Amino acid sequence: MRTIRPFALLLLFIASAGAGAQSTHVVKKGDTVLALSSQFRYPNATVNQMAHAIIHANMDSFGRRTSELWRPGTRLKIPDEAAVLKTDTKTADSYVAQVRKSDARYREAVALEKKGDMPGAVPAYLDAAKIGHPLADLRLGQLYDKDRTGTLPRDLQESIKHYQAARKAGVKVEDAERVGIGEKTK
């Protein structure tokens, strides 16, 4: 019978402890949720389960323009396999489909706002927020708080509702002050 030496046992313990640890990834230009999910997917997980876990581990890391892309240089947390597998396949598939749909509507809203078409942008933000896009909720919170375009009336209850939805999803709401697309903070 073969015995395991204490040193070998220690190495085995260290290796197995590191295997389940959360790792990180520094975003490069063009990295997307699904590309990173494919890259880091665990053998027992689907791409959508991985995407679900990566999105939820990094809600405060998204750029203000989309939930599909992060800014280059952002350090993302890559959840361990146990965290990824906590979400069943059906739930992950549904969630990723919802993210893609809401993100398309959110991108449309941002593009319309950049063009100065706030009457078109607001319904798109509202649609994206209804589908569950946290950055749309953040933007609506800003617009209802202080809309300098005059498109929306100042409505603190609506503003608070959207800010709370964004916070609940993990988005940092640092200021209850409007910062528009392309505007600089104070």
Q: Does residue 181 have a pLDDT over 80?
A: no
pLDDT value of position 168: 85
Average pLDDT score over the chain: 80
Q: What percentage of the chain carries pLDDT values higher than 70?
A: 77
Least confident of 15-19, 33-37, 94-98, 121-125: 15-19
Angle at 103 between CA 183 and CA 141, to 5 degrees: 50
pLDDT value of position 150: 83
Q: Does residue 36 have a pLDDT over 80?
A: yes
pLDDT value of position 93: 96
Q: pLDDT digits over 48-86, tens only? A: 999 999 988 887 776 554 555 577 888 999 999 999 999
- 155: closest CA among 171, 141, 173? 141
Any residues with CB less than 8 A from the CB of 125 and at least 6 apart, and which?
106, 109, 136, 139, 140, 143
- On whether the pTM is more than 0.75, the answer is no
- 169: closest CA among 85, 89, 59, 78? 59
Q: pLDDT digits over 139-166, tens only? A: 999 999 988 788 888 888 999 999 999 8
pLDDT value of position 119: 94
Q: CA 177 to CA 183: how far, in whole Å?
A: 12
Q: What percentage of the chain carries pLDDT values higher than 90?
A: 47
Angle at 109 between CA 107 and CA 155, to 5 degrees: 135
Q: CA 143 to CA 30: how far, in whole Å?
A: 29
Domain ranges within the chain, ordered by starting residue: 22-168
